[in-house]
Every structure is written in C-alpha cells, then in structure tokens.
Structure 1
Amino acid sequence: MANQTAQLAALLRAAGAEVELVQVNPPWRPAWAAQVRGLRAVLRLAPYLWQLWRAAGRTDLLHVMANSGWSWHLHAAPAIWIGRLRGKGVLVNYRGGEAPAFLARSPLLVCFSLRRAQAVIVPSAYLARVFDEYGISTQIVPNIVNLDRFQPAPQRPAQAHILIARHLEPLYDHATALHAFALLRKQLPQARLTICGEGPELPRLQQLTEALQLQTVVHFAGKTENADMAAYYQQADLVLNPSLADNMPISVLEAWASSVPVVSTNVGGVPDLIHDNVDGLLVPPGDPHIMARTMLVLLKDHGMARRMAMAGLHAAQRFSWHRVAPLLFAQYRRVLHRPRWTGYTALVSCVLFPLHEWFKRHNSAAVRHQMEASQWWRPEQIEALQVHRLRLLLLYASEHVPYYRQLYARIGFDATRVQDVRDLRLLPILRKSHINDHRDDFHADDARHMKRFTTGGSSGEPLIFYLGKQRVSHDVAAKWRATRWWGVDIGDREAVLWGSPIELHAQDLWRARRDRVMRSDLLPAFDLSPTRLDDYLARLQKQRPAMLFGYPSVMCLLVQHAQSRGIALDRLGIQVVFVTAERLYEDQRALLMGAFAAPVANGYGGRDAGFIAHECPEGGMHITAEDVIVEILDAHGEPVPTGESGAIVITHLASRDFPFIRYATGDIGTLDPKPCPCGRGLPLLQSVEGRVTDFVVARDGTVMHGLALIYILRDLPQVRAFKIIQETLDCTRVLLVSVDGLPPSLRLSIVTQFRARLGATVEIVIEEVTAIPAEASGKHRYVISKVASH
C-alpha cells in the first residue's frame, strides 16, 4: 500500500494536483523505540494526528488509504473524522483481503466511520461485495501498475526461476511456498526461488529453509524498492502468490506487465482478477503438493507459459494510469461537488424543506436518501429492485385500478408470474388517447389526495391526468438528487425560468413566502419583452444564484439579450445551469457554458412521465431506474438493440394511484450500453429526440415562450390535439382536433386568450381538422413560428 500511495501521489502531481502526504509510519527516533511495536504506534499517533489536522486545513479533499486491523482504528478512522470536522471532502480507499474477518469483528464501529466519508472506493469486485453485505456502497477503482517501469524482458533461456514478492508475514504463507518449492526441486533440481520483502516471519522462514536444505537455492532479497523490482521480474520465469487471504495483489499486476506467468492461491479477490487457465493458474491455499504440481506444469510447458504470459500482458493494460485515472477523478469530482452541510442551505435542506414536505404528506426526503444509496448499486441490484417494485405495481393495479383489472382479464395477464422487467412486453402500449378515453378508470379505488395535471404531447394532443402523493414525492426526490450531483442543494439560491398556468397570475402569499424561505426566485417564461429581460438580468445580478433552472431556449434568449446590452454573466457565481422540458442542442450548451462560465446539466422528462433521466458531471444521462423502467421500441412495438434509436416507453413504478404502465412519451431516444465513469449503476440514455417548442412574437414585438399559447389549449377536455402556426405578426392559425365539435363560446374564449397574448388586432384562425399530420422529418411540433424563424 505504501508503494501504491507514493506512486499515486507522483501521478497526481504530474497531472497538476497539489498533493501533501501524511505518513503513518515515518522513521522514528530514538531507534530503540522502533523495536517496541506497541510503544512505537502510541508514540507516533499524536504527531500523526497533529500533522493530519494541519494538512486537512490546507486541502480540499482527503484521500484516506485504509486497511484492516489496528491501522483502521488508529489512522484511517481518525482521518475521516478530522476531515469532516474541518469541513473537507473525504474519500476512503479501502484495501486488504482481511476485510471480511475485520468487518465481522467490529461491523458497527467500522461502518459508522465509513458512512461519514463522501465516497468509498475499493480496488476489486471482491471487496465491493464484502462491503455490500454491510450496506456500504463502494466504487471500484483498480490498483495501478507502472507500465513504463514494468515491461517484458528480452527473450532468454528458461531457468526455472521463481519469484515471490510479498512481505514476510503469516498472511502470505511463505512457509507453504517453501514446502512446495522443495517438492518442485525433486522434479526440477535447477529451480531457484527469490523472495523479496521484509517482515517478522524472516527468522522462522530462514530456519525452515535450512531444515528443507534449500539455503543454497533460496534467496531472501529483503526490502526491495519498487524501482528495483522490475529487474527481479525480468529474471523470473514464474511468479508465485501463496496468500491465505488477498484482494488485488500488486505483484500479480507487475508480473503481468513484465510478461511473467502467475500461479496464485484462489483466495479473496484473486479469482476476480485472475481467470484460471487463461492469464494464470489458481491453486487452493495451504496445499504444497498442488502448488508444486501446478508450478511444474508451467515451468515445463513453455507453450502454455507463453500463452498465459501474453494474456497477462494484455490484462495489465486495464490497470494503467491512463485507464484508472478517469475512474479516480470521477470520484474526486463526486466528493468535491458534494453539497455543503453548513449555514442556511443546510438548515433548509435538512430541516425546513423536509418539514415542508411532511406537512404536504410527502416523504421526499426519505426517498431521496434511499436514492442516494441505490444510485451506487450494481446494475443487477437495481434491476432486482425494479422487478420487485414492478411486481407490486402490477399486482396493485390488478386489485385496485378498474382499467387494468379489465385489461388483465381481457388479455389473460397474470401479474403474479412477473419475474423480469421483460415481462412488461405482455402488456399493450399505453397512449394518451387511452387515458383520455378512460380517465376515471385509471383512478385506483383507494386513491386519496390526488392532484390534477395537464400536459401537451409531442403531437399537441393534451393529456389530463392525476398524480398521488407517492408519485409527487418520488419526482421531487429524483430532481433533488440530480441537483445535488452538481453540488447544489435545496436552500441554495436558485433562479427558475419557467412557466405554468399559475404564473399567469399573481402568486398567492403562501407560495411567495415559501419561495423566499427556500431562496428560489421565479422568472416567468411567458413574457420575454426587452423590458422584462432587463428586469431578469437585474434580479440575477442582485440574487447571484448558485443554480439557474428552466427551459434552454429561454436561457439562450436571456444570454443573447445580455450580450446585446454588454452585460457579463460569468461572474454571477452560478455553479450549474440545469435545463429541462426541451431538447438541449449542442450550440445551446456551448452558448450557456460560455456565458455563465458554468457546466450545463440536461434533464429529460415531463409531468406525465416523471423525471426520466438527468445528466451527471461526468456526462452520463442517468435514468431514474429506481422509479422508471425505460423501453426503446421500434415501429412494431418490439425492443430495438441497445445503441439503436426508437420510441421511448416508460413505466413509472411510483404511480400506483394513477398508473403509467408502458406509457408512450412520444419521444425518440437511444439507450447507452457503456457505463458512466462516475460509477453509478443507473442505466444511461445516449440521446433523446425531445419535444421542440418555438417562441412566438407578439404584435408589439414581445417574444414569448410557445407554452404561453399551449397552456390555453392543453387544459381543455374538448380538445384532443392541436398545432399552432404563427404565419405572420398579424395572423396565427390554430389546427384543432376536437371531441364533438368546438362550441362557439369556447371558440371565442380561445381567440380572446390568444389575442390577450399576441395582440388585440391579430387574426386568430381556428381550423378544426380530423388529425394533426407529422412534419416531413417525422417529428411532431406543436408550435411553429414563421416570424420567430426570421
């Protein structure tokens, strides 16, 4: 671990980071104290803690190299607590194959400190499974091998030279290795053994070597610097790892990089690292006879040895700094982007907002805590959670939702037999028209406190639906979690460029006070006249928000207006620009990033489908898989191969009061087969062809968001579909698909509301049609402004 620490520090410095090492075992004076093991640890502890306290004050992040035993209690755990006390980010890098036994002895004490760290990384899947058993989510960041230092040797004749590069401690079982070597020598008298390392076992092992009459062919090289190890590997024909417990032995990685075949015991994480008979041979621990026979096979079968050496050389590339650095840096950024648990923001996030949600009978805070743990689960764990929650939803729907009770009976669907998310394919696709035609039948018979919502579809077909408190709580939690990925929490200053029907009128007093407490400033997106935009810029300069949230098109218009006024936005202190509700184009992203000097985070979803996916700081568009199952289907309703585009269909697992099961969003998207470097187990969307919303221009030149007109139509139950086409400043056409014809009074109401926004003299032409045709590209646009395009 000392070698890995020194190597990591050097690599980080070369990458431009400032690194300060706090050693737990510096050279000790007087020399006699170093010989007394317990006294040595006690005398070193106070200086170590003092140095750690001072170093923590100078840094942004503590990377704690941790191991089992007293090393954890004396060094690692205090480092975690000192980091937290000083308000620093803490990443624990836990190593050691003895972790299972150590955790079994004191699980509560160890896990209590571990949970205080913002991130826990381990080098192997083995340790990840160990910590999973104790409810600790970890990320795998492998050990690093220096491929510049450890390289294959020039070809030379085989000499049956065996190398062991482990410290001389009982855990590494050199005694069994010596017995195995003695047995091997009976078949290969020319064999030699070199043991690199120091430790308390040296006297006993030297005595055993003499007893086995091996002193002339066994060389104890003692403590060997890592830089000198390369020569030992190049002189070896086989590397032996005889451990009784292990994780990810560096000696195996160095042997692979040096193109030397490996024989190892199959303990701990070794079987995750070495594929038996592919890039090494595995043997049971403590059995010298099998160990000797296995080494003999490799030393005599030169073809097998070369094959495994080449496979190991290929495997070693996975552990280069080039491959490991992105994984480590992603975890560093995760810690550095953490929300700060101090000041007014912490009061709002931890106390006031949870109380606000509790009074509304929402459990958003608890759901968010659960999601922040489950996001780090392995994909198979997340899928198991989906299957469990899907089965509960489908069973509940069969018992309490008339629409699904009738559907199951009609198609012969048995919810009790659901064992996989793919079983959803037995159900038909749910479309907006199904909900509009059978709205009352979608209500669960025991649903309470439902809230009515409306939304326009990608074709302009309005949807009226209801959400229960469970669904609202989960949607709030999903958005809350996503903003925290970027270091922004509820209670941080926020400016929201948004629009909804309530914002057309004055907000009620309670809502205004609530937003003031939450430090959220609403900037309505409907009226975007130059005067209003000037007011928004002034409010942003005064508020200096940590997050800007809303429609990307509106934000871009605000930026362009600021540029025309010569107003710089890059010093507002905005940490992230969070965009949603529209497709984000790359030129928009570039414009916003350049203007605000902040990253842009994309979000995808809707009030009907829920918060489907959010972008993390590493660029992955993570699906909210705890709540949402996403299917990508072709024109025939069949799943497309991963990586190909198709229709996005979702099942919202928290929608039992008004179920959305296999709901067609009307969008086109693609799943991403690659994992995200951030380490989250949530699946990814590769791309989304989202809804397109245009601006419209009023007769007086005021630019407003297209939703200002959409909201007039989408909440009308008589309107099945619509499309708004602004032909000129003086004429706007409205294509409508109505249920039974539009009454004159409703027609007049629509015209009046349109003129209130566009201008009293504007001609509003309403055309009732039987269907809304798609664009030539196949996309559906529900607002087209030929004026705005100029």
Structure 2
Amino acid sequence: MANQTVQLAALLREAGAHVELVQVNPPWRPVWAARIRGLRAALRLPPYLWHLWRASGRAQLLHVMANSGWSWHLHAAPAIWIGRLRGKGVVLNYRGGEAPAFLARSAASVCFSLRRAHAVIVPSAYLARVFRQHGIATHIVPNIVNLQRFIPAPQRPGRAGILIARHLEPLYDHATALRAFALVRKQLPHASLTICGEGPELPRLQMLAEALQLQTTVHFAGKTDNAAMPDYYRQADLALNPSLADNMPISVLEAWASAVPVVSTNVGGVPDLIRDDVDGLLIPPGDPHAMARAILAILTDAPTARRLAAAGQAAARRFSWPGVAPLLFAQYRRVLIRPRRLGYTALVSGALFPLHEWFKRHRSPMLRRRMEASQWWPREQIETLQLQRLRALLLHASEHVPYYRQLYARTGFDATRVHDLRDLRLLPILRKPHINDHRDDFCADDAGDMKRFTTGGSSGEPLIFYLGKQRISHDVAAKWRATRWWGVDIGDREAVMWGSPIELHAQDLWRARRDRVMRSDLLPAFDLSPARLDEYLARLRKQRPAMLFGYPSVMCLLVQHAQSRGVALDRLGVRVVFVTAERLYEDQRALLSAAFAAPVANGYGGRDAGFIAHECPEGGLHITAEDVIVEILDASGQPVPAGESGAIVITHLASYDFPFIRYATGDVGALDPSPCPCGRGLPLLQRVEGRVTDFVVARDGTVMHGLALIYILRDLPQVRAFKIIQETLDCTRVLLVSVDGLPPSLRLSIVTQFRARLGETVDIVIEEVTAIPAEASGKHRYVISKVSR
C-alpha cells in the first residue's frame, strides 16, 4: 500500500495536482522505541493527527489510504473525521484481503465512519461485494502498475527461478510455498526460490527451509525497495502468490507487466483478477501438492509458460495509469462538486422544499435519498429491482386497469409468469392513438387524485393523459438527483428558459411566491424579440444564477444575441447549463459551454414518458433505471444490438394510476454498452435522435420558439396530429388531422391565436389531411420555418 501511495502521489503531481503526503509510519527515533510495537504506535499517533489536521486545512480533498485492523482505527477513521470537521471532501481508499473478517468483528464502528466518507473506492470487485453486504456503496478503482518500469526481459534465464514478493507475515503462508518448493526440487533439482520481503516470520521460515534442506536454494532477500523489484522479475521464470487471504495483489500486476507467468491461491479477490488457465494458474490455499503441480506445469512446459505470460502481459495494460486515471478522477470530481450543506440552499433543499412536497403529498425527498443509494448498485442488482417493480406494475394493471384487463385476456398474457425483463416483450407496443382512443380505460379503478396533462411529442400528435402523485413524486426525485450530480441543488439560484403552458400570461400568485422562495426565475421562451432578450440578459446579470435550465435552441439564441450586443456571460457564476426537450447538437453544446464558462448537461424525457435519462459530469447519459425500462427496437419491434439506433420504447414502473407500459416515445436512440467512469450502475443511452423543434418569426421580426404555436393545437381534443410550416413571413400553413372534421368556430379560434403571435395580417392556411407524412429522413418535425431569422 505504501508503494501504491507513493506512486499515486507522483502520478497526480504529473497530472498537475498539488499533493501533500501525511505519513502514518515515519522513521522513529530513538531506535529502541521503534522495537516496542504498542509504544511505537502511541508515540506516532499525536504527531500524525497534528500533521493531518494542518494538511487538511490546506487541501480541497483528502485521499485516505485504509486497511484493516488497528491501522483503520488509528489512522483511517480519524482522517475521515478530520476531513469532515474541516469541511473537506473525503475519498476513502480501502484495501486488504482481510476485510471480511475485520468487518465481521467491527462492522458497527467501521461502517459508522465509512459512511462519513463522501466516496469509498476499492481496487477489486471482491471488496465491492464485501462492503455491499454491509450496505456500503463502493466504486472500483484498480491498483496501478507502472508499465514503464516493469517490462519483460529480453530473454528469460531458464533456471526455473521462482519469485515471491510478499512480506513475511502468517497471512501470506510462505511455509506452504517452501513445502511446495521442496516437492518441485525433486523433479527440477536446479530450481531456485527468491523471497522478497521482511516480517516476523523470517526466523521460523529459515528454520523450515533448513529442515527441508533448502537453505542453499532459497534466498531471503529481505526488505526490498520497489525500485529494485523490476530486476527481480526479469530474473524470474515464475511468480508465486501463496496467500491465505488477498484482494488484488500488486505483485501479480508487476509479474504480468514483466511477462512472468503467475501461480496464485484462489482466495478473496484473486479469482476476480486472474482467470484460471488463461492468464495464470489458480490453486487452493494451504495445499503444497497442488501448488507444486501448478509450478511444474509452467516450468516444464515452455508453450504453457509463454501463453500465460502473454495473456498476463495483455491483462496488465488494464491497470496502467491511463486506464485507471479516469476512474479515479471521476470520484475526485464527484466529491469536489458535491452540493452545499450550509446556507440558504441547504435550508431550501433540506427543509423548505421537502415541506412543500409534503403539503402536495409527494414522496420525492425520500425517493431521492433512495435513488442516491441505488444509483451505485451494480447493474445486476438494479435489474433485479426493475423485475420486482415490473411484476408489481403488471399485476396491478391486470387487477385495476380496464384497458390491461382486456389486453391480457385478448393476448393470453399472464402477469404472474413474468420472471425475466425480456418477458415484457410479450405485450404489444403502446402508442398515442391507443391512449387517446381508450383514455378512460387507462385510469386505474383505485387511482387517487390525478392531474391532467397534454403533450405533442415529436410526431405532432397530441396526447392527453393523467398522472398521479406517485408518478409525479418519482419524476421529481429523479430530476432532483440528477441536478445534484452537478454540485447544485434546489435553492441555488436558477434561471429557466421554458415554455410554460400559460406562456404569455403572468404566473399565478402561489407559483410566483414559491419560485421566489426557491430562487427560480422563469424566462418565457415564446416572445424572443430583441427587446425581450435584452431584458433577459439584464435579469441574468442581476440574478447571477448558479444554473440555467431550458431549451438548447433558445439558450443558443440568447447567447448569439448577447454576442451581438457585446455582453459577456462567462462571469455570471453559472456552474452548469441544463438542457432538455430538444436534441442537443455538439455545436450548441460548444457554444453554450464557451459562453457561460460552464459544462452543459443534457437531459432526456417528457411529461408522458417521464424523466428517462440525464447526463452526469463524466459524460454518461444515465437512464433512470429504478423507474424506467428502456427498449430500443427496430421497425419490426425487435430489440437492436447495443450501439445501434432504433425506436425508444419505455415502461414507467411508477405509473400505477395511468400505466405507461411499452410506450413508444416517437424518438430514436441507441443504448451504450460501455460503463461510465463515474461508477454508477445505471445503464446508459449512447445518443438520442429525432427531437427537433424550430423557431418561427413574427411579421414584425420577433423570433419565438415553435412551441408558442404548438401549445395552441396540442391541447385540442378534436386535433389528432398536426404539422406547422411557415412558408414566408406572410403565410403559414397548418396540416391538421382532425377526429370528425374541424368545426368553423374552432378553425377561426386557431387562426386568431396564430395571428396573435405571428401578426394580424399573416395568412393562416389550415389544410385538413388524413395523415401527416414523415420527412425524407424518417424523422418527424412538427414545426418547420422557411423564414431566415
């Protein structure tokens, strides 16, 4: 662990970080005190704590290297508490194969301190499983091997040289290795064994070597500086790891990098590291005969030795700094940008907003806390949760939702036989006409209070539906969690460029008061005239929001207007720009990020489909998998391979009152098979396509978002689908699919409302058609403006 610490510090300094090491075991004077173990620890502890307290005051983040036993209680746990007392981020890096036994003895006290760390990282999946059993979420950041120092020898000596690089502690069972070596010597008399390390076992091991008549062929190298280890590997033909308990032995990584074949016991996390007979040979612990057979299998079979060595060398590349650094830096960033715990923001997020949700009978605060734990679960555990919730939703729908009772009877679907997420495919895809044609049948007979909503969607076909408090609570919690990923929270100053359904009118008094308390400022995205954009710039400069939220196209228009006015936006203090409701193009991301000097976070979802996915600071577009199952399907309704584009179909697991089961969003996207460096177990969307809105230009030159016209049509029950085409400043066509023909009074109302936005003299041509054709690309655009802005 000391070698890893020194190596990590050097690598971080090379990456530009200022690193200060606080050593727990500096050389001690007088020498006699160092020989008394308890006294040595007692004398070292006060100066260690003092140095740590002072160093933490200078640091932004504490990276605590931790191990089991007294080292934890004396060094690691105090470091966590000192970091918290000083208000610093704490990353706890736990190592050691003895963790299961240690936690079994001291779980309560150890976990109490562990939970105070802002992030817990471990080097192996083995330790991640150990801590998961005690309710501790961890993130895997593997050990690092220096591939510049540990390199293969040009030619192996061929002297059957065996190397053990473990300290002389009972845990590492050198005694079994000596007995196995005695058996090897019977077939390979010229074999030799070198043991690098020091420890209390030395006298006993020397006596055992002499009893086995190995004193001339076993070399105890003693304490060996890490700088000298590459030479030992270059002289070895085999590396042996005889441990009784282990995690991720650095000696295995160093042997692999040096192209030395490895034999190891299959204890602890070793099977997660070494694949038996692929990049090493695994044996049971404490068995000298099995150990001897494995050693001889390599030393007497050159092709096997070369095969294992080559595979090990390839495996070692996964543990080089370029591969490990993104995982470590992701945890550093997560800790450094955590939301504030003090001040007005903490008051709002911790008390006022939860009180607001309680009055509305929403459970979002509790759900958010659950989600912030479950986001770190492994993919398999999240899928188990999805299956449990899916079965409950499907069973509830069969008992309480008329539409699904009829559908199950018609198709022969049995919700009690759902044992796999893939069984969901037995149900047909749900589309907007199904809901519009059977809306009342989608309402559960045991539903509580529900709220009516309308959305147009990417196809331009309006959808009227209802959401209950459970569903709204889950969507609020999911968005809240994603907001906190970026170090901001409810209560931080926020500017929202959005299309409120009450777009051109003042908000109601209650909503306005709530927004003032939450420090949220709504900038309607409809009237985007130069004068209104000037007003918005003035409000932003006055408010200095920590976050922006809205349509990317609208915010880009604001940026372009600011640039034309010579107004700089990079010193407003914006920490993140949240965009949603439209496809985010890379040129838009670049423009917004440069203008506000802040990262841009993309979100994907809708009022109907829910809060589907959101981008984290590491760039992964994480699906809200606790609540949403996402399928990507081809034209025939079959799943496409990960990375390939298809139709996005979702099942919202919290939609009991008005179920959305296999609902076609009308969008196109692809799943990402790669894990995100952030360590979250939530699956990823690789990209989202097909959501394109446009601007329209009024006769007087005012630019407004296309939703200004969409809102006129999408809430009309007589309108099934529509497409708006602005041909010129003087003429706009509306293609419209009606249910039973458009009444003259409604036609006049549409024309009047369009003219109120576009201009009184603009010709509004309504064309009733039987269907809205797609674009040549296959995508649907519900607003197209041919007028240059």
**When the two structures are superposed, what TM-score results if normalisation uses the length of structure 1?**
0.98
Counterpart position of 1:75:
75
Instruction: Give, in angstroms, the shift of residue 338 of structure 1.
Output: 1.2
1:67-466 alignment runs, 5 A limit: 67-466=67-466
Mean CA deviation greater in 192-201 or 553-562: 192-201
Matched, 1:509 2:509: yes
Counterpart position of 1:628:
628
* Cα offsets for 1:557-588 (capped at 9, x unmatched): 10011011100000111111100000111111
Tell me which amino acid in the other structure corresponds to 1:317: R
Counterpart position of 1:551:
551
Counterpart-to-counterpart distance in 1, 2:491 and 2:195: 59
Counterpart-to-counterpart distance in 2, 1:412 and 1:720: 31
Mean CA deviation greater in 773-782 or 236-245: 773-782
Mean CA deviation greater in 11-20 or 721-730: 721-730
Tell me which amino acid in the other structure corresponds to 1:597: A
Instruction: Give, in angstroms, the shift of residue 619 of structure 1.
Output: 1.1
Mean CA deviation greater in 693-702 or 543-552: 693-702
1:606-617 alignment runs, 5 A limit: 606-617=606-617
* Cα offsets for 1:378-397 (capped at 9, x unmatched): 11111111111111110010
1:497-646 alignment runs, 5 A limit: 497-646=497-646
* Cα offsets for 1:61-95 (capped at 9, x unmatched): 11111111111111111111111111111111111
Instruction: Give, in angstroms, the shift of residue 157 of structure 1.
Output: 4.1
Counterpart-to-counterpart distance in 2, 1:665 and 1:292: 62
Q: Is the 8 A contact 1:174 1:205 kept in 2?
A: yes
Tell me which amino acid in the other structure corresponds to 1:217: T
Q: Secondary structure at the match of 2:502?
A: helix
Q: Is the 8 A contact 2:157 2:237 kept in 1?
A: no
1:7-26 alignment runs, 5 A limit: 7-26=7-26
Tell me which amino acid in the other structure corresponds to 1:494: E
Counterpart position of 2:487:
487
Percent of residue pairs identical: 86
Counterpart-to-counterpart distance in 2, 1:147 and 1:420: 43
Tell me which amino acid in the other structure corresponds to 2:127: L
Q: Is the 8 A contact 2:156 2:235 kept in 1?
A: no
Tell me which amino acid in the other structure corresponds to 2:349: S
Counterpart-to-counterpart distance in 2, 1:189 and 1:770: 91
Mean CA deviation greater in 652-661 or 290-299: 290-299
Counterpart position of 1:685:
685
Counterpart position of 1:748:
748
Mean CA deviation greater in 541-550 or 305-314: 305-314
Counterpart-to-counterpart distance in 2, 1:154 and 1:786: 69
Mean CA deviation greater in 349-358 or 409-418: 349-358
* Cα offsets for 1:407-462 (capped at 9, x unmatched): 00000000011111111111111010000000000001010110110000212110
1:722-741 alignment runs, 5 A limit: 722-741=722-741
Counterpart position of 1:467:
467
Counterpart position of 1:775:
775
Mean CA deviation greater in 289-298 or 454-463: 289-298
Counterpart position of 1:496:
496
Counterpart position of 1:39:
39
Instruction: Give, in angstroms, the shift of residue 526 of structure 1.
Output: 1.0
* Cα offsets for 1:36-71 (capped at 9, x unmatched): 111111111111111111111111111111111111
Counterpart-to-counterpart distance in 1, 2:352 and 2:178: 66
Counterpart-to-counterpart distance in 2, 1:772 and 1:705: 21
Counterpart-to-counterpart distance in 1, 2:148 and 2:785: 60
Q: Is the 8 A contact 2:346 2:491 kept in 1?
A: yes
* Cα offsets for 1:584-620 (capped at 9, x unmatched): 1111111111111111111111110011111111111
Instruction: Give, in angstroms, the shift of residue 220 of structure 1.
Output: 1.1
Counterpart-to-counterpart distance in 2, 1:294 and 1:641: 41
Instruction: Give, in angstroms, the shift of residue 504 of structure 1.
Output: 2.8
Q: Secondary structure at the match of 1:129?
A: helix
Structure 1 residues without counterparts, runs of 5 or longer: none
Instruction: Give, in angstroms, the shift of residue 294 of structure 1.
Output: 2.0
Structure 2 residues without counterparts, runs of 5 or longer: none
Tell me which amino acid in the other structure corresponds to 2:180: A
Counterpart-to-counterpart distance in 2, 1:671 and 1:557: 30
Q: Is the 8 A contact 1:500 1:711 kept in 2?
A: no
Tell me which amino acid in the other structure corresponds to 2:108: L
Mean CA deviation greater in 216-225 or 401-410: 216-225
Task: Report how many residues are paired.
Answer: 789
Counterpart-to-counterpart distance in 2, 1:745 and 1:753: 12
Counterpart-to-counterpart distance in 1, 2:730 and 2:343: 53
Counterpart-to-counterpart distance in 1, 2:366 and 2:707: 33
Instruction: Give, in angstroms, the shift of residue 517 of structure 1.
Output: 1.1
Instruction: Give, in angstroms, the shift of residue 209 of structure 1.
Output: 2.1
Counterpart-to-counterpart distance in 2, 1:548 and 1:785: 26
Q: Is the 8 A contact 2:175 2:205 kept in 1?
A: yes
Counterpart-to-counterpart distance in 2, 1:579 and 1:716: 28
Q: Is the 8 A contact 2:456 2:462 kept in 1?
A: yes
Counterpart-to-counterpart distance in 2, 1:61 and 1:411: 58
Tell me which amino acid in the other structure corresponds to 2:400: H
Q: Is the 8 A contact 2:570 2:597 kept in 1?
A: yes
Mean CA deviation greater in 683-692 or 63-72: 683-692
Counterpart-to-counterpart distance in 1, 2:663 and 2:333: 36
Instruction: Give, in angstroms, the shift of residue 656 of structure 1.
Output: 0.9
Tell me which amino acid in the other structure corresponds to 2:780: H
Counterpart position of 1:55:
55
Mean CA deviation greater in 687-696 or 530-539: 687-696
Q: Secondary structure at the match of 1:495?
A: strand
Counterpart-to-counterpart distance in 1, 2:735 and 2:305: 75
Q: Secondary structure at the match of 2:219?
A: strand
Tell me which amino acid in the other structure corresponds to 2:274: I
Counterpart-to-counterpart distance in 2, 1:327 and 1:692: 34
Q: Is the 8 A contact 2:52 2:79 kept in 1?
A: yes
Q: Secondary structure at the match of 1:117?
A: coil
Tell me which amino acid in the other structure corresponds to 1:253: L
* Cα offsets for 1:463-485 (capped at 9, x unmatched): 00000111111111111111111
Counterpart-to-counterpart distance in 1, 2:520 and 2:769: 42
Q: What RMSD over aligned residues (CA atoms) do the two structures have, in Å?
A: 1.2
Instruction: Give, in angstroms, the shift of residue 700 of structure 1.
Output: 1.7
Counterpart position of 1:672:
672
* Cα offsets for 1:688-717 (capped at 9, x unmatched): 113211111112211111111111111111
Q: Is the 8 A contact 1:299 1:305 kept in 2?
A: yes
Q: Secondary structure at the match of 2:285?
A: coil
Tell me which amino acid in the other structure corresponds to 1:236: A
Counterpart-to-counterpart distance in 1, 2:611 and 2:336: 25
Counterpart-to-counterpart distance in 1, 2:319 and 2:717: 60
**When the two structures are superposed, what TM-score results if normalisation uses the length of structure 2?**
0.99
Instruction: Give, in angstroms, the shift of residue 488 of structure 1.
Output: 1.0
Counterpart position of 1:654:
654
Counterpart-to-counterpart distance in 2, 1:293 and 1:769: 81
* Cα offsets for 1:257-289 (capped at 9, x unmatched): 111111111100111111111211111111122
Q: Is the 8 A contact 2:464 2:715 kept in 1?
A: yes
